[in-house]
Structure 1
Amino acid sequence: MFDVPLFLRHKFAQVWALASEKLTSLEIGCVSSVMVTELLSPSLGHHRSPNHVRPPILPGIQRLCLSVDYITDTMVSTISNVLLSLTHLDLRDAPLIEPTSAYDLTNSGLQQINQHGKLKHLSLVRSQEFLITYFRRVNDLGMLLMADKCANMESICLGGFCRVTDTGFKTILHSCSSLYKLRVSYGTHLTDLVFHDISATALSLTHVSLRWCNLLTNHAIKNLVSNTHLKILDLRDCKHLGDGALRSISTLPELKILLLDGSDISDFGLSYLRGVINSLVSLSVRGCKRLTDKCISALFEGSSKLELQQLDLSNLPNLSDNGVLTLAKCRVPISELRMRQCPLIGDASVMALASMQVDEDRWHGCRLRLLDLYNCGGITQLLFWWLKKPYFPRLRWLGVTGSVSRDIVDALARNRPFLHVAWHAEELGSNQWDNSHGLYMHDYDEVDELEQLLEEGEYIDEEMMDVDNDAELL
């Protein structure tokens, strides 16, 4: 791990000339496209003679993940031609200004991808982090040219291709018969027609993400679920999907992760998921404004042998403490619970979770490792009384509002050194699609507070006395 901006451009390439030939995977979090191109170019720079040709840099690289300022034709062409063993290419950019033609990806650049025919995974994403911008110089022709050389591709991720229509996306689906993972974000022209005849293809998709594809309706999901082996389905921010989509999703027997943020689903619609709730490991309904407390009973009442570990109920204006009480009564074995920005959630919810027992375990709230209550309307300092031992012994991450007393937070930190309290509105946890960067997963296998409690037996909780006093005053 090192800081790329510390290197002068010509020094950067020289440093990588020393890299081991055995290096197979390289990830750089922030680097300019010019530096990447110069790194992989055959000449070491202006200080060498024009006839000097260096040996190949990084000859064994199979997996390359880069976050750059601009994804350009020149960079893509250089990567594709020089890295002979490349099987996994992941490129993401975040432009500060709208790219010019010389610093952008076009149809010509897409035609250069996979020159050696070994690529299995391709990800090209234009981030909206600093500027609302897209790959405006790529259209359906670019997808056709790329698909012609990517017939053996197994995973494709495309983000920000605003000029690609159903024709271009269908070309990918019908050309890449080995495709099992498809991710499209900001597909502004992607409609239901893309999946109209998907059952006629040889595809067996298991991972599908269609985020910010606002033209999709329930009909698209009805056709998509002909891939009955779907395990991950990410439909976040597809605002026109409703209960009809849930009815179709209920037929997927192997579904593990379902993300429905911002969709138009109802409490009754969630009852369709009864058929798959026993197999689900992660469910997110963040920002589904029509949901109320009844959605909890619609999902969980009467269910048994649940495997659900991650549940996101954030930004639900009609979810109250009563809904969380129902959740606790159903003994859902959740390890990560997010309820950010819920104005009706208060201390009573924390009390209910603290008292929840799963599988007759005598340790209260023992399954929760992450609890995000940032900006919940009814949370007071009384919350911290319920966070002292022996409650929530496995809790590692806690999200609270920034207005909470810092003294109380510090007292909690001293009392529970393995608990990280976030109070600046930051999101907790890792992305469901990619746990490789896990922000907190590494803590799970470290010292377990519950095991300490079992070993120590009875204890006197002296450091939380001040917190108790504050709670009594409240």
Structure 2
Amino acid sequence: MQELVLLFDASIFRRPDFARVWSLASAKLTYLQIGYITQLMVIEVLSPTVAPNQSPSHILPHVFPNIHKLCLSVDYISNTMINIISNALIHLTHLELRDQPIIEPGIAFDLTDEGLQLINQHGRLKHLSLIRSQEFNPTFFRRVTDQGILFMADCCTNMESICLAGFCQVTDTGFKTLLHACTNLYKLNIFNGTRMTDLVFHDMHATSLSLTLVSLRCCNLLTNSAVLQLALNMDLNVLDFRDSRKIGDKALHAISKLPKLRTLLLDGTDVTDLGLSYLQKGTQSSLHKLSIRGCKRLTCKCVSSIFNSGSNRGLRELDLSNLPNLTNGGVLFLAKNRIPLVDLRMRQCPLIGDTSVMALASMTMADGDRWHGSSLRSLDLYNCGGISKLAFQWLKKPYFPGLRWLGVAASMNHELVDSLALNRPFLNLMTRGEELRTDKWDNLDDIYMHDYEEVDELEQWIFQEDENMTDDDLDDADVNDDDDDDYADGYGDVEAEYE
């Protein structure tokens, strides 16, 4: 066994027993991920130990002698734990640590400048992620300053990807040092860079970096000027500026010239319909995923701004959630133009209603295609203002035959949701506001559908014998036939309104 992923809370085990178990771990293990573990348990497992009935000088070999990648979620990231990990795991190339402090940690349990100096003691580290989560409390790495980043940069010059979240005391000096010292860097992820400004990127042309992924989330001092400099990296394929509120249309004008861009995340930024229209140019053949969730300046015309004149036909994932001005007319545009989306998210849109569901259910993807809504695999309608009983009838078979994930609110529609679950047993229903889990890295979609990949749900309906149909199935078909008249009226009304 070379990989081991434990998603449970390891802290429920008694600490002495836990350390003893790991002494039996396979020496071939190269990748270890643990869902949650205390930093004291990590220290005990990795600390040198004396063999039973032996002299103190007889130290047992380290556990995990061949670990290359370590991913841990802990209570606190501390200097002691960093030192133990960096010293004990001599082959480590990937280190991902995330902590979730309930209260602000004391200095003995926190990461400081000295702790960053202890990273990469064996010089093999290429991928580093240090994240202080704010899930329970708005805490930061308050004891790490630019000096600590300078220490880390000196011993991490071969770094290829860096993710830092919660470093509120680090300024332009520290971040800029990383960019200039790590000449092999191609992935940069900064979250809550509260003191990062455009100056970090103003001389990007002076570096030899060839960045492919840049994520600058909740960096509210950044403006369009930073994006103009980042866009000099023509190999960029992922850009994430979520909740960086000063990023706007000028940034999109520069981004539109990136020929390889596949993922663009703009949630909560200052972009407008005009800015989105710039994406019809350079990115139209490459863009695969676009998220504009919560961009308050967007109107219903944002959809046509993205897809007008046949542009961005390669787009497969679109997030339009939390847009107060998005109406059924925008969804009608998607249906009329047969946009082949596989992932559409419109949660928390108060003006989206039954007509949007009917339009998506009735769209066909090609001339002569008699199956409806055939491209969507995930659809998020959670807490949309106009969803009623009528929409649930159009979410049943034979509509949306490829749908695997659906987000709806169950608070007022428990019976309808239960009926839909019985009607579509292969559908993952998310009814409490959870995000749809369709990310490849989660692997949940593949696991859930493993037994059904050979025969699609639609194929099962096609091959089902008429005599096996139940009375309930026939009743559903009758309801759908009755709803066709209602849909025709609503569809026509929205089409007239939109035009």
1:286 aligned to which of 286, 293, 304: 293
Alpha-carbon contact 1:41-1:78 (below 8 Å) kept? yes
Residue 327 in structure 1 maps to residue 356 in structure 2: no
Residue 450 in structure 1 maps to residue 458 in structure 2: yes
Counterpart residue number, 1:437? 442
What 5-or-longer segments of structure 1 have no aligned partner?
A: none
Secondary structure at the residue paired with 2:417? helix
Write the distance in 1 (CA, Å) between the matches of 2:206 and 2:262.
25
1:309 aligned to which of 299, 303, 316: 316
Residue 422 in structure 1 maps to residue 439 in structure 2: no
Write the distance in 1 (CA, Å) between the matches of 2:269 and 2:338.
27
Alpha-carbon contact 1:402-1:425 (below 8 Å) kept? no
Residue 380 in structure 1 maps to residue 385 in structure 2: no
2:345 aligned to which of 338, 341, 348: 338
Residues 1:381 and 1:48: Cα distance change in structure 2 (over 3 Å): farther
Deviations 1:400-459 (A, max 9, x none): 11324322222221221101211111111245xxx3223334445542212223433868
Alpha-carbon contact 1:10-1:45 (below 8 Å) kept? no
**Which piece of structure 1 moves more, 448-457 or 386-395?**
448-457
Secondary structure at the residue paired with 1:307? coil
Residue 351 in structure 1 maps to residue 358 in structure 2: yes
Write the distance in 2 (CA, Å) between the matches of 1:98 and 1:312.
35
Q: How does 1:10-409 map to 2 (within 5 A)?
A: 10-43=16-49, 50-275=56-281, 276-303=283-310, 306-360=313-367, 361-409=369-417
Deviations 1:237-267 (A, max 9, x none): 0111111111010010000000000001111
Deviations 1:347-371 (A, max 9, x none): 0000110111224443210111111
What is the CA-CA distance between 1:47 and the residue it aligns to? 10
Alpha-carbon contact 2:287-2:314 (below 8 Å) kept? yes
Secondary structure at the residue paired with 2:190? strand
Residue 463 in structure 1 maps to residue 472 in structure 2: yes
Write the distance in 2 (CA, Å) between the matches of 1:299 and 1:216.
25
Q: Percentage identity across aligned positions?
A: 58
Alpha-carbon contact 1:124-1:157 (below 8 Å) kept? yes
**Which piece of structure 1 moves more, 46-55 or 383-392?**
46-55
Write the distance in 2 (CA, Å) between the matches of 1:416 and 1:13.
46
Alpha-carbon contact 1:70-1:95 (below 8 Å) kept? yes
Alpha-carbon contact 2:357-2:391 (below 8 Å) kept? yes
Write the distance in 1 (CA, Å) between the matches of 2:55 and 2:188.
46
Alpha-carbon contact 1:208-1:232 (below 8 Å) kept? yes
Bigger helix share: 2
Residues 1:267 and 1:357: Cα distance change in structure 2 (over 3 Å): same
Write the distance in 2 (CA, Å) between the matches of 1:246 and 1:205.
18
Residues 1:97 and 1:362: Cα distance change in structure 2 (over 3 Å): same
**Which piece of structure 1 moves more, 4-13 or 156-165?**
4-13
2:15 aligned to which of 4, 9, 12: 9
Secondary structure at the residue paired with 1:95? coil
What 5-or-longer segments of structure 2 have no aligned partner?
A: 1-5, 487-499
Secondary structure at the residue paired with 1:436? helix
**Which piece of structure 1 moves more, 323-332 or 232-241?**
323-332
Deviations 1:451-472 (A, max 9, x none): 2234338685743567678897
Alpha-carbon contact 1:94-1:129 (below 8 Å) kept? yes
Residues 1:429 and 1:380: Cα distance change in structure 2 (over 3 Å): same
Counterpart residue number, 1:413? 421
Deviations 1:92-120 (A, max 9, x none): 00000100000000011100111111111
Write the distance in 2 (CA, Å) between the matches of 1:227 and 1:151.
20
Write the distance in 1 (CA, Å) between the matches of 2:465 and 2:243.
48
Alpha-carbon contact 1:278-1:303 (below 8 Å) kept? no
Counterpart residue number, 2:489? none
What is the CA-CA distance between 1:48 and the residue it aligns to? 8.2
Aligned-CA RMSD value = 2.2
**Which piece of structure 1 moves more, 93-102 or 328-337?**
328-337
The AA in structure 2 aligned to 1:406 is H
Q: TM-score, normalised by structure 2?
A: 0.90
Write the distance in 1 (CA, Å) between the matches of 2:51 and 2:140.
32
Write the distance in 2 (CA, Å) between the matches of 1:464 and 1:212.
49
Deviations 1:137-169 (A, max 9, x none): 000000100000111110000000000000000
The AA in structure 2 aligned to 1:31 is I
Secondary structure at the residue paired with 2:11? helix
The AA in structure 1 aligned to 2:325 is N
Deviations 1:17-36 (A, max 9, x none): 00000000000010000100
**Which piece of structure 1 moves more, 8-17 or 302-311?**
302-311
Write the distance in 1 (CA, Å) between the matches of 2:181 and 2:316.
36
Write the distance in 2 (CA, Å) between the matches of 1:298 and 1:47.
75
Deviations 1:251-288 (A, max 9, x none): 10000000000001111111000021331111000000
Secondary structure at the residue paired with 1:34? helix
What is the number of equivalent residue pairs in this alignment?
Answer: 471
Secondary structure at the residue paired with 2:264? strand
Alpha-carbon contact 1:253-1:279 (below 8 Å) kept? yes
What is the CA-CA distance between 1:59 and the residue it aligns to? 0.2
Write the distance in 2 (CA, Å) between the matches of 1:130 and 1:327.
39
Write the distance in 2 (CA, Å) between the matches of 1:89 and 1:161.
17
Secondary structure at the residue paired with 1:463? helix
What is the CA-CA distance between 1:297 and the residue it aligns to? 0.8
Secondary structure at the residue paired with 1:170? helix
Alpha-carbon contact 2:86-2:118 (below 8 Å) kept? yes
Write the distance in 2 (CA, Å) between the matches of 1:260 and 1:295.
13
Residues 1:139 and 1:457: Cα distance change in structure 2 (over 3 Å): farther
Secondary structure at the residue paired with 2:43? helix
